[in-house]
Structure 1
Amino acid sequence: MNKGETILEVKDLKQYFKVSRKLTVKAVDGISFDIKAGETYGLVGESGSGKSTTGRSIIRLYEPTGGHIIFEGQDISGHMSKQAISTLRTKMAMIFQDPMACLNPRKKVIDIVAQGLDIHHAYSSIEERNEKVYKMLEMVGLSREHANRYPHQFSGGQRQRIGIARALIMQPDLIIADEAISALDVSIQAQVVNLMKKMQKETGAAYLFIAHDLSMVKYFSDRIGVLHLGHLVETGTSEEIFANPLHPYTKSLLSAIPHPNPRVEKTRKSFTYDYATSGLDYTKGKQQKVTDTHFVLATDEEFETFKKNAGKPY
């Protein structure tokens, strides 16, 4: 797809899990956003906010309870046609959070990375298959010699590179990175994110970048969506979200970012937000437009209050 075209459109996505006859957990409760070809959309929020569930619902690891997921013009939320299934499995890929748990310990790296090629028979000879794997390993900073090793013989950063290679081998148009750097050391995180940015430039793939490290999300993402309790409370460009956050939950997240300067950090004040005592009701809110790209979930009264408090220190 051409850069700037909408590759993924999520409309009123709901993902509920029935725990018992009386209890249903609303992990994702009616969120809407879109991702354009070649861009990175960051999804942030605290643990349990519904970030990973959203990613897994989009790639159909979960059956969505409601809403629509439009990927490259095809609805993949309900019963899918053979063409839609083929598009989903070849043009969308996922990088998982735990770089060890998602790799088969009994398989060599060459077979792990080539899994997509093997399933879809995307080669004419075994030599072509192996050559594709070798090229992909070199692209992610590994060598041909690594192809015949097992996952336990690698470090955490190297395992995540193997996971990235496996996700990219089919040349997908959309990659869902589910907390892909959270299990890594800080120095390795920077390497992996820079690698992902480099691969994006070379392949033109779009990313749904799920994370809770806001500084890394700001560095990597073009636009950001803030999730809380299964609701998308605010969305906008990275500059808008960080320079002018409107929703109190977004303000509380940003205020918790530690500052590298110890003098500034000593005087930094974090803003506490408690939904139970805030007086806000996400179920009654609607998307209020601030700019062409900046939206916040609020009722009319809440939105006026947000605007009055916009720009004030938190």
Structure 2
Amino acid sequence: MGRETILRVADLKQHFKVSKHYTVKAVNGVSFDIHEGETYGLVGESGSGKSTIGRTIIRLYEPTAGVITFRGADISGTLREKEQTLLRTKMQMIFQDPMASLNPRKKVIDIIAQGLDIHKLYRTKQERQEKVERILEKVGLSREHANRYPHQFSGGQRQRIGIARALIMEPGLIIADEAISALDVSIQAQVVNLLKSIQEETNTAFLFISHDLSMVKYISDRIGVLHLGYLVETGTTEVIFERPVHPYTKSLLSAIPHANPLKEKTRVTLSYDYADSGIDYARGTEQALSATHSVLATEEDFSLWTGK
């Protein structure tokens, strides 16, 4: 690809112990890379482990196992001060609910400048204000909005505030966790176009987590498909949509409605039930589970999933 790898996730596992005899294995041995300036889309149904991966990468959760490397630094173990500063400044997150993630008692200027305050990234109050106003304008808001409170904004505007809070740190990677799912469809398009324009301008990489395949297709360079905590298929956007290999991927794609009513009438939805599929995710090799599409996966590759 020619671009430097900014994030490498290797055999990531995230298990949650619910009781003495039961553990939820939310993520099971997931591996993928993200390169500078690209968008990697992570898709799957609810409960597949998408958000858990994002929160584990940014260390809101302690990883059960595996290695996470960000800009050459291992951030999967105990974080030293150097790694913690790198993680907190150069990796940011945009959350799903724009209202719940904003402090209702703080003005917008203080919400956006929180990272600057913590890491002391300005010399004067005037410089702090100028940085906030500049980033507000970049996300389509005005300077006058700086002294308002979150409840005075619409959902789309609140999400722009969340984006501004992430951008002001000048991160190399932004994790967008279902960042548009709570917004109206027309606002979703505005926010996604904003993310694309920011990426072109700043060369920021995105991990775009979503269940909306159409939006993932529009914004992503590469896509990873998650099911039951396993990465069952990954590849370029074009290959995933045009030549999917895994039956779960095929079932997801078959559920996308067509804009053309004539095509929609003839659309056939494929069903996929893991329990009846004869596929054993745990037995698949990394090559088969990740079906990287350097060449199209063959029947021999697929036999690694099925164990036949």
User: Shorter-chain TM-score category?
Assistant: over 0.9
1:301 aligns with 303
Q: Assess if the C-alpha contact under 8 Å between 1:235 and 1:295 holds in 2.
A: no
Please report how far the alpha carbon of residue 300 of structure 1 lies from its aligned counterpart in structure 2 after TM superposition: 5.4
**Corresponding position: 1:231 with 2:230:** yes
* Cross-structure match for 1:163: 162
Q: Secondary structure at the match of 2:20?
A: coil
Given that 1:236 and 1:293 are in contact with CA atoms closer than 8 Å, whether structure 2 keeps it comes out as no
User: Which runs of no fewer than 5 residues in structure 1 stay unpaired?
Assistant: 307-314
Contact preservation (8 Å) 1:43, 1:211: yes
Shift of 1:267: 1.3
Shift of the alpha carbon at 1:26?
A: 0.3
Partner of 2:86: 87
Deviates more, 1:14-23 or 1:285-294: 285-294
Q: Distance in 2 between matches of 1:120 and 1:295?
A: 47
TM-score normalised to the size of structure 2?
A: 0.95
Does residue 240 (structure 1) correspond to residue 250 (structure 2)? The answer is: no
Distance (whole Å) between structure 2 residues aligned to residue 265 and residue 124 of structure 1? 58
Give the distance between the partners of 2:92 and 2:206, measured in 1 at CA.
10
User: Matched residue of 1:19: which SS?
Assistant: strand
1:291 to 290, 293, 299: 293
Q: Classify 1:20/1:197 alpha carbon distance in 2 versus 1 (closer, same or farther; 3 Å).
A: same
- The SS at the match of 1:105 is coil
Give the distance between the partners of 2:268 and 2:125, measured in 1 at CA: 59
SS for the counterpart of 2:111 is helix
How far residue 292 of structure 1 moved from its aligned partner, in angstroms, is 2.1
Amino acid at match of 1:149: R
CA distance in 2, matches of 1:146, 1:65: 42
**2:229, 2:44 → 1: CA distance?**
10
Output the aligned Cα RMSD: 1.9
Partner Cα distance (2:74, 2:144) in 1: 42
Question: 2:6 is matched with which residue?
Answer: 7
Letter in 2 for 1:301: S
Q: Which residue in the other structure is 1:62 paired with? A: 61
Shift of 1:302: 5.0
How many percent identity over aligned positions?
Answer: 70
Question: What is the CA distance between 1:304 and its match in structure 2?
Answer: 9.4
What residue number does 1:310 align with? none
Please give the secondary structure, in 1, of the residue aligned with 2:34.
strand
Moved more, 76-85 or 108-117: 76-85
- CA deviation string 1:56-115 (max 9, x = no partner): 000000000000000000000011221111100110000000000000000000000000
In the aligned structure 1, how far is the partner of 2:229 from the partner of 2:159? 28
Question: What is the aligned partner in structure 1 of residue 18 from structure 2?
Answer: 19
Contact 1:234 1:294 in 2 (8 A): no
- Establish whether residue 30 from structure 1 lines up as the match of residue 29 from structure 2: yes
Q: For 1:63, give the aligned amino acid.
A: E
Report if aligned partners of 1:12, 1:66 keep a CA contact under 8 Å in 2: yes
Q: Which amino acid aligns with 2:294?
A: D
Secondary structure of the residue aligned to 2:104 is coil
Aligned length in residues: 304
- Measured in 2, the distance between the counterparts of 1:295 and 1:159 equals 43
Output the CA distance in 2 between the equivalents of 1:293 and 1:124.
Answer: 53
CA gap of 1:134–1:295, structure 2 versus 1, over 3 A, is: farther
* Counterpart check, 1:221 vs 2:226: no
Residue aligned with 1:88, SS:
helix
2: distance between equivalents of 1:174 and 1:188?
23
- Secondary structure (helix, strand or coil) at the match of 1:292 reads coil
Q: Deviations over 1:258-277 (max 9, x none)?
A: 01111111111100000011
Hey, what does 1:179 align to over in structure 2? 178
1:72 has 2:35 as partner = no
Assess, with a 3 A threshold, how the Cα gap between structure 1 residues 230 and 269 changes in structure 2: closer, same or farther.
same
Give 1:303 deviation, angstroms. Answer: 6.3
Q: Counterparts of 2:235 and 2:227 in 1: how far apart (Å)?
A: 15
Query: Scaled by the length of structure 1, what TM-score is found?
Result: 0.93
Give me the whole-angstrom Cα distance separating, in 1, the residues matched to 2:252 and 2:292.
20
Q: Which residue of 2 aligns with 1:114?
A: 113
Distance 1:106 1:290, change over 3 A: closer
